[in-house]
Each structure stands twice: as structure tokens, then as C-alpha cells.
């Protein structure tokens, strides 16, 4: 019998409370270094944007940095950087986040700034047109004029899914972005940026009682609005293999990505977690199955990777999502052969099980990554805010290393057995020039 990997849970403290306006708050103090991380996460992402407004969730993230009723444009930047801090935001399938990392003495500054724009960003025609141009340029740089741009996170969903929320281009079309209006932005803010549709998390060097008072002072009078109903984005999975290809004129080499639907990551986390481990068994490190077979032995790909979720946020995504494999091939590479070998390795795993020490090695690497990521204050504040938003369990961040270590060989083998050719979606890049 294989020896189980015993990985302890972390013990970061977690204090939770909810303000009268519905804002959920998570505090995790740590006095070991004089720094704080502040994260505000709103329960709206790419899947929530309406038809005809592709890219709007990301566009609105940009608008949140363009000033407010109380602060002029660029004031947020000046106040954070002037205190020696840094900041950013990002848009995901299921949420949008905003965050600051600051010296501990500047905590109130971050709380004031986040509360100020939660009351209302400065939505003007000038700001909207300017940020539409910024987002369009971002699309040009990151997708249209970059080799493998949008591969596979933008290219695979329309192959795997059929409904608009799951299948559309989350970066947005230029036509949709250019037709956005200030009224659209105001409606989006009023619906999705309600305090009751958000969580605030603070991690790092702060006094608990004093911080509770600061949160109440700055966020307590943010007007309450009804929280929007969360849609069910689920849809049936593929009943036969779905596959498409496209020419990338900038790509020097061919590439292939494949995805399989997996259990609900929130409603059925116990069934979902073995797939997270399986992805690492297959692709994490030189000793992993697909790296050893595809790269080192057969030499039919130059690189291969595997992960859960189209944006790689395996513990911060809702249903439906997928296990993804992606590989880059040498010149003249055969994508069909790559998929056949992947099928062979999955069958070998499903029928023959794991090699001695294979699971323990993988779990140890996964736990190491989790522990390293949560060592930073933002690595606690940001995921705890999302876990509170989606699950009401920010303390799950503490439990993840232990839970990863408790996944059994039988569970990983059973997960591998479900990844059949008839259940996958594939997208292939053909290098060259469009004809």
C-alpha cells in the first residue's frame, strides 16, 4: 500500500464579519513584517457581461482607476505610490479584483481609496473613450500582434462551449467596445459593484480591533444596493470530440490544446480536487508523465503544460470549467500523433496506476507552491477574498496543502479514466500566412 503524503494545514488566522450594507470582510493579521495587502473582489467577471458588450467586464476594471467623485484621475496611483506601495487589478471569468500592497502604516490610505471608488467611479465620456482605446491597444499587443495570442484561453472556450457566457471572447470585439456608452457603464456599476456583491480582505501587519474600526469608518456608509442574482452558467458537456484549427501568421511553430470538462469546483470540490492533482502528475516537472514521454522520449513536442481553469485559477473558478493540456510542437509536428500519445498515457495511468513515489512527489511539489504563494501578504488577501466571495470559506486557503496531500491514488486514477477522446475539445494552431 502506497504511503500517503502527510502535509499539514497552515494556520493563518481568519476573522470574518459583514457590514450592514452587505460588504463581507476577511482579516488575517500577521505581525512578522511591516507590510499589508488589501484586496477588494467583486462578484462579476467575463461570464457576466451581456451580449453585445464583449470585453465590458475588463473595460470596467480600467474605468475603476480613472478617478471618482472625490478624487481626480490618477489620484489613486499617486496616493498608493506616494506611500511606497503598488497596486493593480485583474478581470477573471467569475470575478474582478483590485488590490494594493503597502507599508503597514499606509493601511488606512488603501481602505479609503477602495471605499471611495466603491461609492462611485468617475464615469465620463472622456474616460470611457480613453479606456476603450487603451483596451483595444492591449488586445493588439497581447492577442492580435503576438504569437499564440489568446491561446488557448480565448480560442478553446468557443470550441468547448455553446452558450454566450462561456464561449464568447472575454477580451472583447472592437465593435462592442467602441459602441459602449457611459449609460452602459453606469448600469454595469449599479448592478454589479454593489457592496453586497463584494468582499474586502486585509492581510499583514495590523491591529485587529483598530482595523475593524477603520473598515467600518470607511466602508460602513457606502450605500447598500440589491445584490444581483448569480446565474447558473452550466451547460451540457461535449458528447463527441470537438476540434477546430486556425492559422496564426505570427506563430513560428504549431501548437495544440485540449480540454475536458471536470466536476463542479465548488459544489463538488472533493471530486474536483483529484483533477487538479492529475494535471500536475501529467505535466509538472521533468519526471512527469507527459513531459517524460512527449518531450524527452518521443520528442514530438517542445513543451507541454497542464492546469485547471482557462485562466489557471484552479481554486478560484466556478462551474463549468475544464482540465487543459497544451503543447507546442517542432517544425512539421503532428498534432494527431500528440493527441494519440496523450490518450495512451491516460489509458496507461487509468489501467496501471501510479508508479511508487509518483503521487507523493507531485503532492509535495504542489504543497510547496501553495506555501510559497501564501507567504506573501497579497498571496493571502487576494485568494481569501475570492474564497469568501465564492464559498464563504476563506479558511480553505489554510486547508489546501493538507487537502492536496489527502488525494488518493485511486482518485487520481479514476479521474484519468474519465478523460476520453469523445469528451474533449481541441484547438490547433497552424503556423503560416492566411490564404
Question: What domains does the chain contain, in order, with CATH numbers?
Answer: 15-219 (3.30.830.10), 242-431 (3.30.830.10)
Whether the bond between 152 and the residue before it is cis, its omega within 30 degrees of 0, is: yes
pLDDT digit string (tens) for 320-335? 999 999 999 999 999 9
Max CA distance (Å), the chain: 66
What value does the mean pLDDT of the chain take?
Answer: 96
Average pLDDT over residues 365-371: 95
- Asked if pLDDT for residue 3 goes beyond 60, the answer is no
pLDDT digit string (tens) for 113-152? 999 999 999 999 999 999 999 999 999 999 999 999 999 9
Average pLDDT over residues 57-64: 98
Report residue 8's pLDDT band, with 50, 70 and 90 as the boundaries.
confident
Residue 69: per-residue pLDDT: 85
pLDDT digit string (tens) for 238-268? 999 999 999 999 999 999 999 999 999 999 9
pLDDT digit string (tens) for 283-331? 999 999 999 999 999 999 999 999 999 999 999 999 999 999 999 999 9
Distance (Å, rounded) from C-alpha 273 to C-alpha 315? 9
The answer to whether the beta carbons of residues 260 and 323 sit under 8 Å apart is: yes
pLDDT digit string (tens) for 64-86? 999 998 999 999 999 999 999 99
Half-sphere exposure of 225 (CA within 13 A, CB side): 18
- Asked if pLDDT for residue 2 goes beyond 90, the answer is no
Task: Provide the Cα torsion 386, 51, 57, 266; round to 10°.
Answer: 10
Residue 405: per-residue pLDDT: 95
Listed in sequence order, the residues at least 6 apart from 270 whose beta carbon sits closer than 8 Å to its beta carbon are none
3-state secondary structure at position 225: coil
Distance (Å, rounded) from C-alpha 240 to C-alpha 229? 33
By DSSP bridging, strand 303-308 and strand 322-328 are: antiparallel
Residue 1: per-residue pLDDT: 43
Distance (Å, rounded) from C-alpha 170 to C-alpha 58? 8
Listed in sequence order, the residues at least 6 apart from 238 whose beta carbon sits closer than 8 Å to its beta carbon are 160, 261, 422, 423, 424, 425
The string of DSSP codes covering 88-134 is: EEEE-SS-EEEEEEEEGGGHHHHHHHHHHHHH-B---HHHHHHHHHH
Report residue 433's pLDDT band, with 50, 70 and 90 as the boundaries.
low
Residue 5: per-residue pLDDT: 59
Give, as one character, the DSSP assignment of residue 146. Answer: S
pTM above 0.75, yes or no: yes
SS3 content of the chain, % helix, strand, coil (to 5): 45, 15, 40
Distance (Å, rounded) from C-alpha 394 to C-alpha 27? 10
Burial of 220 (0-12, 13-18, 19+ CB in 10 A): middle
Amino acid at each position: 500500500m502506497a504511503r500517503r503524503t502527510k502535509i499539514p494545514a497552515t494556520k493563518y488566522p481568519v476573522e470574518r464579519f459583514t457590514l450592514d450594507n452587505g460588504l463581507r470582510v476577511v482579516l488575517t493579521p500577521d505581525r512578522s513584517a511591516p507590510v499589508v495587502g488589501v484586496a477588494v473582489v467583486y462578484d462579476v467577471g467575463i461570464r457576466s457581461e451581456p451580449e453585445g458588450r464583449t470585453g465590458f467586464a475588463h473595460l470596467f476594471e480600467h474605468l475603476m482607476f480613472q478617478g471618482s467623485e472625490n478624487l481626480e484621475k490618477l489620484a489613486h496611483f499617486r496616493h498608493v505610490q506616494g506611500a511606497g506601495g503598488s497596486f493593480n487589478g485583474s478581470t477573471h471569468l467569475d470575478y474582478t479584483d483590485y488590490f494594493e500592497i503597502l507599508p503597514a502604516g499606509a493601511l488606512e490610505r488603501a481602505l479609503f481609496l477602495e471605499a471611495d471608488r466603491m461609492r462611485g467611479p468617475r464615469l465620463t465620456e472622456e474616460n470611457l473613450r480613453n479606456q476603450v482605446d487603451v483596451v483595444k491597444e492591449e488586445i493588439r499587443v497581447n492577442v492580435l500582434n503576438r504569437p499564440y495570442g489568446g491561446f488557448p484561453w480565448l480560442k478553446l472556450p468557443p470550441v468547448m462551449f455553446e452558450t454566450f457566457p462561456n464561449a464568447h471572447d472575454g477580451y472583447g470585439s472592437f465593435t462592442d467596445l467602441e459602441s459602449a456608452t457611459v449609460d452602459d457603464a453606469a448600469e454595469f456599476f449599479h448592478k454589479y459593484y454593489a457592496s453586497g456583491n463584494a468582499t474586502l480582505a486585509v492581510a499583514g501587519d495590523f491591529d485587529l480591533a483598530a482595523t475593524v474600526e477603520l473598515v467600518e469608518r470607511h466602508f460602513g456608509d457606502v450605500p447598500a444596493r440589491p445584490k444581483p442574482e448569480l446565474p447558473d452558467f452550466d451547460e451540457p458537456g461535449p458528447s463527441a470530440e470537438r476540434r477546430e484549427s486556425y492559422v496564426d501568421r505570427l506563430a513560428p511553430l504549431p501548437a495544440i490544446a485540449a480540454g475536458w470538462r471536470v466536476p463542479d469546483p465548488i459544489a463538488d470540490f472533493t471530486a474536483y480536487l483529484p483533477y487538479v492533482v492529475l494535471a500536475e502528475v501529467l505535466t509538472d516537472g521533468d519526471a512527469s508523465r507527459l513531459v517524460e514521454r512527449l518531450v524527452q522520449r518521443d520528442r514530438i513536442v517542445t513543451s507541454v503544460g497542464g492546469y485547471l481553469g482557462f485562466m489557471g485559477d484552479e481554486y478560484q473558478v466556478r462551474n463549468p470549467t475544464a482540465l487543459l493540456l497544451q503543447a507546442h510542437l517542432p517544425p512539421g509536428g503532428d498534432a494527431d500523433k500528440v493527441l494519440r500519445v496523450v490518450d495512451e498515457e491516460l489509458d496507461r495511468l487509468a489501467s496501471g496506476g501510479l508508479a511508487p513515489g509518483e503521487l507523493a512527489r507531485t503532492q509535495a511539489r504542489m504543497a510547496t507552491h501553495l506555501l510559497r504563494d501564501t507567504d506573501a501578504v497579497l498571496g493571502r488577501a487576494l485568494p481569501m477574498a475570492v474564497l469568501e466571495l465564492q464559498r464563504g470559506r476563506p479558511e480553505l486557503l489554510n486547508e489546501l496543502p493538507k487537502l492536496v496531500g489527502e488525494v488518493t491514488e485511486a482518485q487520481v486514477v479514476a479521474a484519468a479514466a474519465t478523460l476520453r477522446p469523445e469528451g474533449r475539445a481541441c484547438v490547433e494552431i497552424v503556423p503560416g500566412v492566411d490564404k
